[in-house]
Every structure is written in structure tokens, then in C-alpha cells.
């Protein structure tokens, strides 16, 4: 698996490069770093993997336009808020049962710094835990969730069979959950 050649560039530097050059390459690198976090947020609210993946794509499109309008200091918090609000809007549109007072509470909800810090801590634990997976699981999970590769593309890139790829992703996801849970208990 290729090493991230942009790992040495901070989120803020990537944002500055994107705003200066208007080159989506910089934004792509930046968003790739947070794909798993956004997928997790969307799964939390939508409870459906396909809907969550679609929501992440919609969030990416929204981020492209919104970044032009706002100065973003805390990217993780900002991305989390956009993803959460997008999911809440989808749920509201789906049910049409949210009252006006509930809708106002959602819109006026301040960003809870402790919640954001907790999410960042969880993301850091997730990054550490990914590195603890065995090589095939790490490769397949990273290609599937972070690089958005299909099962077939992963088969072609790795030489694993389709059954192996599905197994590595399923077991890797389960092992990640166990590793993160264990790290949270230790913290």
C-alpha cells in the first residue's frame, strides 16, 4: 500500500493551499483524512451503510462550496457539524414529523467542545487501531473506507479473492471496534 506522501502537510496548510490555488487535489487529500470519521457520523444517524456512504459524498460536495464562504479554524469540528446537520436534515425530510420547536433547537444547538474533543479522541484512537490490524485487514479496510474502492477494485489491487476481501473488511471492522473500545477503557 502506498505511503501518504502528503502526511507531513498539516490540515491548515492543505486548506490554505486549496484556498490559494483552488486546486481540488488539496481538498481531496484533506477530505480523505476524514472519510472514516464522516462515515461514522453518518452511520450513527442514518443507521444504514449505503445511506451513510451517500451522505458522506453529499457532505463532500457541500464542503467544496462552503469552504469558499467561511474561514475554518477547527476542521474536524466543522466537518462533524456539517455531516451531523446533513444527516438530521435527511432524517427530517424522511419523516416530516419534526416539530418547529425541535427544528429550532437543532439549528441553535451550540457546538459542544467536550463532544468535539471526545470525537477527536475517538478518531485518534481509530487511527492508532488501524495500524494494529494485521496487514491484509489494514489494507482492505483502508482501501474500502478511506480510498472508497469497491470490492472488485480491492481484488484487482491486492490479488486477494473476493471472499478474502469481504472477510478482511468484515473482520477488520470488528477488530477495529474491539481495539478502540479497549483503548477507551484504558484511557
| Structural domains in the chain, sorted by start | 1-111 (1.10.1740.10), 112-187 (1.10.10.10)
Which residue reads 451503510 in cell numbers? Answer: 49
* Torsion angle in degrees (nearest 10) through CA of 60, 105, 45, 90: -60
pLDDT 10s digit of each residue in the chain, 187 long? 445 677 888 888 888 888 888 788 888 888 888 899 999 999 998 988 899 999 999 988 888 888 877 777 788 888 888 899 889 888 887 764 444 444 445 444 455 555 556 667 677 778 888 889 999 999 998 888 878 888 999 999 999 999 999 999 999 999 988 888 888 888 6
**CA torsion, points 66, 72, 75, 80, in degrees to nearest 10?**
-50
pTM: 0.48
Amino acid at each position: 500500500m502506498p505511503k501518504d506522501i502528503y502526511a507531513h502537510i498539516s490540515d491548515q496548510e492543505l486548506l490554505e493551499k486549496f484556498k490559494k490555488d483552488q486546486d481540488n487535489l488539496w481538498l481531496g487529500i484533506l477530505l480523505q483524512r476524514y472519510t472514516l470519521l464522516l462515515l461514522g457520523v453518518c452511520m450513527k444517524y442514518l443507521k444504514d451503510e449505503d445511506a451513510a456512504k451517500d451522505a458522506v459524498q453529499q457532505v463532500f460536495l457541500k464542503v467544496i462550496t462552503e469552504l469558499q464562504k467561511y474561514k475554518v479554524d477547527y476542521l474536524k469540528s466543522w466537518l462533524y457539524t456539517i455531516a451531523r446537520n446533513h444527516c438530521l436534515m435527511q432524517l427530517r425530510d424522511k419523516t416530516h414529523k419534526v416539530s418547529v420547536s425541535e427544528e429550532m433547537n437543532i439549528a441553535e444547538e451550540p457546538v459542544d467542545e467536550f463532544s468535539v474533543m471526545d470525537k477527536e479522541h475517538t478518531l485518534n484512537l481509530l487511527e492508532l487501531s488501524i495500524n494494529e490490524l494485521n496487514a491484509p485487514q489494514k489494507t482492505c479496510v483502508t482501501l474500502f473506507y478511506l480510498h472508497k474502492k469497491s470490492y472488485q477494485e480491492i481484488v484487482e489491487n491486492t490479488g486477494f479473492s473476493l471472499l478474502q476481501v469481504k472477510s478482511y473488511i468484515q473482520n477488520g471492522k470488528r477488530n477495529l471496534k474491539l481495539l478502540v473500545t479497549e483503548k477507551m477503557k484504558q484511557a
